[in-house]
Chains A and B, each alone.
Chain A
Amino acid sequence: MTPSTTPGIETLISPWDDVALAAALFAVDPAGTGGVALRALAGPVRDHWLALARGLLPTECPRLKIPLHVSVSRLLGGMDLAATLQSGRPVAERGLLAQADGGMVELSMAERLEGATTAYLTAVLDAGEVVLERDGIAARTASRFGVIALDEGVGEDEQLPAPLLDRLAFHLDLSRFAMRDLPKEAPWGTGEVLAARARLGNVKIADEMVETLCGAALALGIASIRGSLLAIRIARAAAALAGRDQVIEEDVAVAARLVLAPRATRLPAGEPSPEEEEPDQPGEDEEPPEQPDEDGQGDEDTGGEDRPLEEMVLEAAQAAMPRDMLDRLRQGAARRARSRSPGKAGALQQASLRGRPIGARRGDPGPGVRLNVVETLRAAAPWQVIRRREQPAGDRVKRVEVRRDDFRVTRFKHRAETTTIFAVDASGSSALHRLAEAKGAIELLLASCYVRRDRVALIAFRGQSAELLLPPTRSLVRAKRSLASLPGGGGTPLAAGIDVSLLLADAVQRRGGTPTIVLLTDGRANVARDGQGGRARASEEALVAARLVRAADIRALLVDTSPHPQPKARELAEAMGATYLPLPYADARVLSSAVQAATG
């Protein structure tokens, strides 16, 4: 529909055709493609696409839906309690991921997927089997399936967890489609999909095409090698779907548009960069004797006559990028790549429980203490022979008799995780210095506190608003990357800074953590919440915001960064209920030890 944006491709293809093509390619090889990240709000367009994908998948393939709150035992498998009690011997229950073998799973609200659930899922995707070691049951079940991860995220911050995204071939964004744009009929039917499935194993791809796709991935700044691997699988599937036994340029272009384009972190440079033509690395593995001959010379060809094909592929990829993505990439890709690291849902949080299990004890279940079924059974087990003997002869024999004494409950040691939120006044001339020291303090804190599993976040406020630069994280690597470049200068929207900190602190609290706000400022607000200048109103609003922090009973530390301690800052600290700490020449080390002392 937008032919002007696709120069250089023979067949002009409308975007919906591509999105539909992804559904068909997924149906051809669900496990091989890894799956689809489907970014769209719930609605008729998404339903339409899902119906298409489900419809194209051969009927015998399982189609499972996994809700966000799925428990580990349902996901991976565990003990089937009903059957165990019924039969009097442990019976295993197959988890959803084992049931999905040969088909697909749909993950709802995958942008909110927790770190642990993501890790279980990616482990199964990688190994092609579910390895179960739970509740007295050990099993390995082969299972290969494709994932359709529904992503209802809004904005850059809400994204699928990076480890999952990396494994899914297609990253589709349906938000630009309206129902009226969609064709009534799908261009493919199950017949074509079945034929393609039969053909897929024999589809050949020329070495130069493999090289082209790898080169294009590199030129687009796609670091993970999975991107190239998936592109090749998709090129093959595209050829199979088109009824070919050999991958041709058109199929390579499909892979470029569907797999490479959404992963790009930069636009290819106009000219081939010198590294790309570098000869083979010294110290490389020697070639195996059985290896076919073409390997060595293939590497040398890369610069030569492949160029036009690679150019075509890059053009195809670029043409498939939406306008806003192109703009973002032109401005520099760092930002996008950054926000792709795992979201706020970040590191491990146990699915439905908080704190650390400290083993099972005898006791009754109740609020905050959960019955540990397997341990209860274990406690009851040794007595079964005796209890059966005790049962009056006439009664129906109970297979397993569990008495109250057997009850075992799991208790959790609730040591709330601390999250230190740095809110840094990044206004004016000293901003860069203050930010740099805050950054240093964050890194020091992360390095010294990770023993206690604490998290750190950074908010900067300047100009007209406050911005979350580093969502709560425990990863030093991630913090370093996020903090590589920091903006500074402009007015002081102090109230906005406090508001955003409070919002984040509240979110931390709701997840069961303990937030501490460390506010670095000189207390001289001059921008009000609505972005308007004006010292008096800005100060008043800042005080109101500060009182909210106090009302919420959130621990706070105010570090006065001005050369001479300011009464305004002290006043603000009092309003916040914060510890006041004048540190005119705060350096990273002093700051981090002050914060450590304050947060205990």
Chain B
Amino acid sequence: MPIAFPFSAIVGQDEMKQSLLVAAVDPTIGGVLVFGDRGTGKSTAIRGLAALLPKMRAVLGCAYSCDPAADAGALCAECRERANKGGVPKTHSVPVPVVDLPLGATEDRVIGALDLERALTQGEKAFEPGLLARAHRGFLYIDEVNLLEDHLVDALLDVAASGENLVEREGLSLRHPARFVLVGSGNPEEGELRPQLLDRFGLSVEVKTPGDLPTRVKVVRLRDEFERDPAAFVAKWKRKDGKIRHQLESARKALSTVEVPDLALEQAAMLCMALGTDGLRGELTLIRASRALAALEGATVVGITHLRRVSAPALRHRLRRDPLDESGSTVRVQRAVEELFPA
């Protein structure tokens, strides 16, 4: 795999970086959608994040990298059986999977299918896990997500909601856990996203090409330096990347202890009401994202600053569309935040 551009060397694009980190701290937030101009480093950021994620413990030899600490419901059939018998699995430390779902992928590779090789050579009926299995406990990344073929979107929607992949094909009948953070990127000019898919993303980020010269020069210079000697460049930024990795690790540990005061819950509800977002998912995401942000910054209590900063990514894709309102959804969220909680 080619060397990834270091996450910490990405200039600007603070909302995108913050959202990716927030989603990495709390996978239940439901992933990030990054939509925006061409050449703004959308996939660069995601590959950079993959490179700095802390490792995780997984059951040795398990095709789904089951979590040895998980309860039986979240385990694959094999690991569950062992757990039920009271066995203690051997574990090892593995990188968090960041799995690419490339355009042009076929359904059998995404969902998993009959292992053709074993079937042809040994006449055995075995399951060959697909991308959804590989992404379990990690990230599933779809570049140009708005160009993804419909039947793959269908397969994805169900799994992303249930955290479980149900396979019924070629005489195979099985289920395995598939909990992953969905990360998508795309350019809105190439087409819209199906609302059901949009809804699966916890956070949505809009990225724009920086318009000011100093930032642009900095972006170009760093990129140029990286291209000329990727290994040296990565080494140079190792410490900064390490700092972020450390920040992620401590945030994950601290997450459950971060306090969410009633005031924050109230404020989140007020904001969602003012914006007329449907359902409770908006509120829930807002709270979870605020808590993850607080954890990232080492705060012990969620405050209004956290809420303010995650409100746009948590809510902008949940507003009812009113195309006759020229101001975009970002502006609408910001306006509501300013009115309710003036700085």
A positions within 8 Å CB-CB of B: 32, 72, 75-76, 88-90, 115-116, 119-120, 123, 126-129, 131-138, 140, 142, 162-163, 166, 201, 205, 207, 210-211, 213-215, 217-218, 223-226, 228-229, 232-233, 275-276, 278-281, 283-285, 288-290, 295, 298-299, 302, 341-342, 346-348, 350, 356-359, 374-375, 377-379, 381-386, 400, 440, 443-444, 446-448, 450-451, 474-478, 480, 588
B131: nearest residue on chain A (CB-CB)? A133
B159 at the interface (CB under 8 A from A): no
Q: Is A133 within 8 A of B109, CB to CB?
A: yes
Q: Among the listed B128, B187, B228, which residue makes an inter-chain contact with A201, where contact means beta carbons less than 8 Å apart?
A: B228
Give chain A's interface secondary structure class. helix
Q: Is A131 within 8 A of B14, CB to CB?
A: no
Q: Is A89 within 8 A of B103, CB to CB?
A: no
Give the distance in Å from the alpha carbon of A475 to the alpha carbon of B186 in the complex.
Answer: 13
B69 at the interface (CB under 8 A from A): no
B103: nearest residue on chain A (CB-CB)? A119
Q: Is B39 within 8 A of A447, CB to CB?
A: no
Q: Is A123 within 8 A of B102, CB to CB?
A: yes
Q: Is A444 within 8 A of B191, CB to CB?
A: no
Q: Is A136 within 8 A of B224, CB to CB?
A: no
Q: Among the listed B38, B121, B150, B220, which residue makes an inter-chain contact with A214, where contact means beta carbons less than 8 Å apart?
A: B220
| Complex interface: chain A residues within 8 A of B217 (CB) | 210-211, 214-215, 298-299, 302
Q: Is B191 within 8 A of A218, CB to CB?
A: no
B72 at the interface (CB under 8 A from A): no
State which residues 73-106 of B face A: CB under 8 Å: 100-106
B43 at the interface (CB under 8 A from A): yes
Q: Is A226 within 8 A of B119, CB to CB?
A: no
Contact sample, A vs B, 14 pairs, CB 8 Å cutoff: A116-B104, A134-B105, A137-B109, A142-B2, A163-B38, A211-B213, A226-B38, A228-B220, A232-B220, A375-B170, A378-B170, A385-B123, A450-B192, A475-B189
B108 at the interface (CB under 8 A from A): yes
Chain A's nearest CB lies how many Å from the CB of B324? 6
Q: Is A374 within 8 A of B116, CB to CB?
A: yes
Q: Is B110 within 8 A of A123, CB to CB?
A: no
Q: Is A90 within 8 A of B120, CB to CB?
A: yes
A227: nearest residue on chain B (CB-CB)? B39
Chain A's nearest CB lies how many Å from the CB of B241? 10
Q: Is A284 within 8 A of B12, CB to CB?
A: yes
Chain B's nearest CB lies how many Å from the CB of A475? 6
Most buried by B among A131, A137, A289, A476: A131
Q: Is B106 within 8 A of A133, CB to CB?
A: yes
Chain B's nearest CB lies how many Å from the CB of A572? 30
Chain A's nearest CB lies how many Å from the CB of B128? 7
Chain A's nearest CB lies how many Å from the CB of B277? 16
State which residues 115-150 of B face A: CB under 8 Å: 116-117, 119-125, 128, 130-131, 143-144, 146-147, 149-150
A302: nearest residue on chain B (CB-CB)? B213
Q: Is B38 within 8 A of A166, CB to CB?
A: yes
B270 at the interface (CB under 8 A from A): no
Q: Is A116 within 8 A of B113, CB to CB?
A: no
Give the distance in Å from the alpha carbon of A540 to the alpha carbon of B100 in the complex.
Answer: 59
Q: Is A89 within 8 A of B117, CB to CB?
A: yes
B239 at the interface (CB under 8 A from A): yes
Give the distance in Å from the alpha carbon of A383 to the alpha carbon of B170 in the complex.
Answer: 13
| Complex interface: chain A residues within 8 A of B175 (CB) | none
Q: Is A123 within 8 A of B38, CB to CB?
A: no
Chain A's nearest CB lies how many Å from the CB of B142? 11
B223 at the interface (CB under 8 A from A): yes
Q: Per-position contact with A for B1-43: 1 when CB-CB < 8 Å, else 0?
A: 1100000110110100000000000000000000001111001
Q: Is B12 within 8 A of A225, CB to CB?
A: no
B9: nearest residue on chain A (CB-CB)? A288
Q: Is A342 within 8 A of B189, CB to CB?
A: yes
Chain A's nearest CB lies how many Å from the CB of B157? 13
Most buried by B among A90, A205, A378, A384: A378
Q: Among the listed A115, A127, A133, A357, which residue makes an inter-chain contact with B105, where contact means beta carbons less than 8 Å apart?
A: A133
The 8 closest A-B pairs by CB, nearest first: A381-B119, A385-B123, A443-B323, A133-B109, A133-B105, A226-B39, A347-B191, A299-B214
Chain B's nearest CB lies how many Å from the CB of A272? 10
Most buried by B among A123, A278, A281, A478: A123
Q: Is B171 within 8 A of A382, CB to CB?
A: yes
Q: Is B239 within 8 A of A476, CB to CB?
A: no
B40: nearest residue on chain A (CB-CB)? A225
| Complex interface: chain B residues within 8 A of A75 (CB) | 104
| Complex interface: chain A residues within 8 A of B324 (CB) | 440, 443-444, 588
| Complex interface: chain B residues within 8 A of A32 (CB) | 227
Give the distance in Å from the alpha carbon of A72 to the alpha carbon of B113 in the complex.
Answer: 20
Give the distance in Å from the alpha carbon of A567 to the alpha carbon of B248 in the complex.
Answer: 72
B279 at the interface (CB under 8 A from A): no
Q: Is A377 within 8 A of B2, CB to CB?
A: no
Chain A's nearest CB lies how many Å from the CB of B99? 9
Known: A228-B220, A229-B223, A278-B212. A288 touches B240 (CB 8 A): yes
Q: Is B147 within 8 A of A285, CB to CB?
A: no
Q: Is A348 within 8 A of B120, CB to CB?
A: no
Give the distance in Å from the alpha carbon of A497 to the alpha carbon of B111 in the complex.
Answer: 49
Q: Is A224 within 8 A of B209, CB to CB?
A: yes
Give the distance in Å from the alpha carbon of A214 to the alpha carbon of B222 in the complex.
Answer: 13
B195 at the interface (CB under 8 A from A): yes
Give the distance in Å from the alpha carbon of A137 to the alpha carbon of B128 in the complex.
Answer: 11
| Complex interface: chain B residues within 8 A of A233 (CB) | 224, 227
Q: Is B323 within 8 A of A115, CB to CB?
A: no
Give the distance in Å from the alpha carbon of A451 to the alpha carbon of B327 in the complex.
Answer: 22
Q: Is B119 within 8 A of A225, CB to CB?
A: no
Chain A's nearest CB lies how many Å from the CB of B94? 18
Give the distance in Å from the alpha carbon of A359 to the alpha carbon of B131 in the complex.
Answer: 18
A446: nearest residue on chain B (CB-CB)? B323
| Complex interface: chain B residues within 8 A of A299 (CB) | 214, 217-218
Give the distance in Å from the alpha carbon of A133 to the alpha carbon of B214 in the complex.
Answer: 41
Q: Besides the contacts A218-B213, A444-B323, what 15 more A-B pairs have beta carbons closer than 8 Å?
A: A76-B104, A89-B121, A115-B190, A116-B103, A123-B144, A133-B105, A218-B216, A226-B39, A284-B12, A284-B215, A341-B189, A356-B150, A450-B194, A474-B191, A475-B191
Known: A129-B2, A223-B37. A384 touches B108 (CB 8 A): no
| Complex interface: chain A residues within 8 A of B120 (CB) | 88-90, 377, 381, 384, 400
Give the distance in Å from the alpha carbon of A207 to the alpha carbon of B222 in the complex.
Answer: 11
Q: Is A348 within 8 A of B191, CB to CB?
A: yes
State which residues 165-220 of B face A: CB under 8 Å: 170-171, 187-192, 194-195, 209-220
B341 at the interface (CB under 8 A from A): no
Chain B's nearest CB lies how many Å from the CB of A471? 13
Most buried by A among B1, B143, B220: B220
Q: Is A357 within 8 A of B151, CB to CB?
A: yes
B108: nearest residue on chain A (CB-CB)? A136
Give the distance in Å from the alpha carbon of A386 to the alpha carbon of B125 in the complex.
Answer: 13
Known: A127-B2, A384-B120. A162 touches B189 (CB 8 A): yes
| Complex interface: chain B residues within 8 A of A210 (CB) | 217, 220-221, 224
